[in-house]
Structure 1
Amino acid sequence: MNALNAVLFDFSGTLFRVETTESWLRAALDETGTDLPDAELRAAAAALEAAGALPGGAAPERVPSELAGVWARRDESARLHRAAFTGLSRQVPLPAPGLYDALYERHMSPAAWSPYPDAHRVLSALRERGVGVAVVSNIGWDLRPVFRAHGLDAYVDAYVLSYEHGVQKPDPRLFAVACRALGADPGKALMVGDSREADGGAAALGCRVRFVDHLPVALRPDALLPVLDLV
C-alpha cells in the first residue's frame, strides 16, 4: 500500500464541535440584551434543534418546502448558507426579531467552537512528520479565525471551503482542489470526516477515507489518533 503523505480533514464534527443549541441561544440573547425565562429558553432551544437551525448541530427533522432548494445548495455560497440557516431558525418564534441574525453571527464566532481533545496532538504530529494537511469543509463562512483562536492554524497548509469554490462535497472537485494545494497525489491522501455521504466523495478521486463519529467533545477523546498510524 502506498504511504500517505497528505491528510484532508473535515471541520465540524471532525476537528471541532459546535456548542450546544441552548448555549448558542443564550449567547445570542446576551448579545442582543434579550431576556427569556429559563423554561421558555429551553423550549426555544429544543425547537431550534429540531429545526436544524444551528450550523454544525443536529440535522433538521424536516426541511420546509420553501427552503428545500436553498437547503440543497446551502454550502455553495455565503448568501445561500445564511439564507438556509436563518430560514430554519425563523421557523421558531423568538422574542426579538434581531435574534435570528444574532444567532447566525454567533455560530461563526471562535467561542462557539471547541476542538476535539486529540486535534492538536494529531495535527502537530502530522506537521512534525512532514505530512501535508488541508481542511476541506462544506461551509458558508471563513473558518480560519476559529483555527487561529484555538491555536491550530499553524498546522494547516490549506483551507478548501465550499463557498469559496462554489462546489460542495461530495463533489470530487473540492477534494481535487485540496490535493493540488498540497501537491499530493490523491492516491496518497487520506480524507477524515464524519459524513459518509459528503466526505465519502473523496473515494471517487482515489483518496482513502476514514470516518469518525460526530459526538460531543467530552465523549470523543481520541478518535483522530489512528490517523497517525496510517501515515
Structure 2
Amino acid sequence: MARRSPASEEAQAVLFDSGGVLMRPIGARWNPRASLSSTPDSDDYHRVLLRNLGTEPTPQLLADLRREVPADRVLELYPDARETLEELSRRQVRMAVVSDAWPDLPDLHAALGIHHFFEAYAISAELGCNKPDPRIYHHASTALGLTPPRCLFIDDDPDLFQAAIELGYAGRAINRDSPLPDVPPVPSIATLTELLELF
C-alpha cells in the first residue's frame, strides 16, 4: 500500500527510472554492460568477454555481436507499466524519464510502444552524469517546466530515490519482490498501479 508524503499531494508529473521500473530484460538478466558506469566500445567489450570464454574474437563474430536485435526480443514491459502510463496520461499527468542509460533509450521505448507518453528524457549517456548527480534529476523537471516538489520520482534503487527526496522531489521507491526496510521509513509501492492513488 502506498504511503502518502505531503509533497506527493502537490505533484503534477512523474519522473520514471526505466530499467527495473518500466521494463526488464526477457529472462530477467541484464547485459553486464548495462551496469557499467561508462560505455565501453562494443568491440573492445566483446573481445575481453570472448577471450575470457576461450573464444577467438574474429571480425565476423564481432560483426555478428554488433548486429541490432529488436527491443521486443530482449526487453519487455512490466505487466503494470502500459496500463499505468495510459491512465496517468488520461488524467493529464505529465511524464518524463530519468535513467542511467544509453542514448537509444527513447528508441527502445518506442519499440515497446511507450515513448509517446514521455515529454522529456534525462539520459546519463547524453548528460555526462549518472544518478544521484542533481543535474540528471533537474534536467527532467526543468524540461517539464516544474519545480522538484511538483515531480514524483520513481526508482527501484532506494539510494537513488533518497537522493531525489533530498533534492526536494516527491517520490516512491518501487519494489515488486519484497518490502523495503522501514528504518528509516521509505515511501514505497509494490506496483506502478499504486501511483494512481496519488493523482
Smaller-chain TM-score range? Answer: 0.7 to 0.9
Structure 1 residue aligned with 2:20, among 13, 25, 30?
13
Structure 1 residue aligned with 2:137, among 175, 181, 185?
175
Distance 1:182 1:53, change over 3 A: same
Determine the C-alpha separation between the residues in 2 that align with 1:99 and 1:128. Answer: 47
CA RMSD of aligned residues (A): 3.0
Tell me what 1:54 maps to.
Answer: 32
Determine the C-alpha separation between the residues in 1 that align with 2:47 and 2:125. Answer: 18
Tell me what 2:82 maps to.
Answer: 120
Determine the C-alpha separation between the residues in 2 that align with 1:94 and 1:20. Answer: 25
Tell me what 1:194 maps to.
Answer: 156
Asked whether the equivalents of residues 81 and 140 of structure 1 are also in contact (C-alpha less than 8 Å), the reply is no
Tell me what 1:29 maps to.
Answer: none
Asked whether the equivalents of residues 121 and 140 of structure 2 are also in contact (C-alpha less than 8 Å), the reply is yes
Asked whether the equivalents of residues 71 and 111 of structure 2 are also in contact (C-alpha less than 8 Å), the reply is no
Distance 1:53 1:85, change over 3 A: farther
**1:197 alignment partner, SS class:** helix
TM-score by length of 1: 0.65
Q: Which has the higher helix share?
A: 1
Tell me what 1:228 maps to.
Answer: 196
Determine the C-alpha separation between the residues in 1 that align with 2:123 and 2:44. Answer: 17
**1:206 alignment partner, SS class:** coil
Determine the C-alpha separation between the residues in 1 that align with 2:97 and 2:163. Answer: 15
Task: Flag structure 2 segments of 5+ consecutive residues without an equivalent.
Answer: 1-5, 178-189
Asked whether the equivalents of residues 187 and 208 of structure 1 are also in contact (C-alpha less than 8 Å), the reply is yes
**2:192 alignment partner, SS class:** coil
User: Which residue identity does 2:171 align to in structure 1?
Assistant: V
Tell me what 2:180 maps to.
Answer: none
Aligned ranges 1:126-165 → 2 under 5 Å: 126-165=88-127
Shift of 1:147: 1.4
Shift of 1:144: 1.2
Asked whether the equivalents of residues 151 and 170 of structure 2 are also in contact (C-alpha less than 8 Å), the reply is yes
Determine the C-alpha separation between the residues in 2 that align with 1:82 and 1:214. Answer: 32
TM-score by length of 2: 0.74
